[in-house]
């Protein structure tokens, strides 16, 4: 079993994909990234500890965890059917990644999927782009100072996650992109 928190982001992504499948939801890499970010923020606020190891980065369509992006980028804009694996650095052999069995992690994942999992990728992007939210803060800060890799630190998430709001309305204003890319 994985120890933590923080957990390997690919293992938590696998847990989210498994729970999404149980709920009848199909997630693209783009949607998975946003939902993982919401889970990370909620877990951080609830427990004071980061859910995921490493940092999210501010990419064009919102927060992206590079390790998760690399694990699933081969799926492009399609619903993810595979699961991330771990590679033994000595042998090159791959093995399944055990998902966290922490009850609080599972509660957060199920809660995020229940409240946001039905939204389109475009709607999830709009929520992550909320004014004064962590993504917008980092992007705006990068316009006036140096921000290493456009990383969204846990401190910024802790301070600004409350600005993530769900607006009412059926349609996305940003359309439905298939894949994210780093901000240049």
Lowest-pLDDT choice from 21-25, 27-31, 105-109, 162-166? 162-166
Which residues have a Cβ under 8 Å from the Cβ of 89 and sit 6 or more positions away?
none
Quick check: is 168 in a domain?
A: no
Q: Which residue has the higher pLDDT, 84 or 170?
A: 84
Could you list the residue range(s) of the whole structural domain that residue 67 is in? 9-163
pLDDT digits (tens, 9 = 90+) for 74-95: 998 899 999 999 988 889 899 9
Residues 167, 126 contacting (CB under 8 angstroms): yes
Q: Count up the domains in the chain and report the number.
A: 1
Quick check: is 184 in a domain?
A: no
Lowest-pLDDT choice from 5-14, 40-49, 68-77, 146-155? 146-155
Quick check: is 171 in a domain?
A: no
Quick check: is 44 in a domain?
A: yes
pTM: 0.87
Quick check: is 135 in a domain?
A: yes
Give the pair of three-digit tokens for residue 31.
């949607």
Quick check: is 176 in a domain?
A: no
What separation in angstroms does the CA of 108 have from each of 12, 27, 164? 11, 17, 16
Quick check: is 93 in a domain?
A: yes
pLDDT digits (tens, 9 = 90+) for 97-130: 999 999 999 999 999 999 999 999 999 999 999 9
**Cα angle 128-126-39, degrees, rounded to a multiple of 5:** 35
Quick check: is 152 in a domain?
A: yes
Half-sphere exposure of residue 4: CA atoms within 13 angstroms, side-chain side: 26
């Amino acid at each position: 079993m994985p120890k933590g928190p923080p957990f390997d982001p690919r293992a938590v992504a696998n847990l989210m994909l498994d729970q999404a499948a149980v709920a009848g939801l199909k997630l693209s890499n783009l949607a998975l990234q946003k939902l993982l970010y919401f889970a990370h923020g909620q877990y951080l606020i609830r427990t004071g500890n980061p859910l995921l190891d490493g940092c999210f980065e501010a990419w064009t369509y919102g927060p992206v965890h590079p390790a998760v992006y690399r694990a699933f980028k081969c799926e492009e804009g399609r619903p993810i059917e595979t699961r991330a694996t771990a590679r033994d650095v000595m042998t090159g052999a791959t093995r399944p990644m055990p998902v966290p069995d922490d009850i609080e992690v599972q509660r957060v994942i199920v809660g995020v999927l229940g409240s946001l999992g039905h939204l389109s990728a475009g709607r999830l992007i709009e929520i992550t782009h909320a004014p004064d939210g962590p993504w917008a803060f980092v992007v705006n800060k990068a316009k006036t100072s140096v921000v290493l890799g456009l990383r969204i630190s846990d401190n910024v998430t802790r301070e600004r996650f409350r600005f993530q709001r769900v607006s009412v309305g059926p349609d996305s204003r940003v359309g439905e992109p298939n894949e994210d890319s780093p901000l240049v």
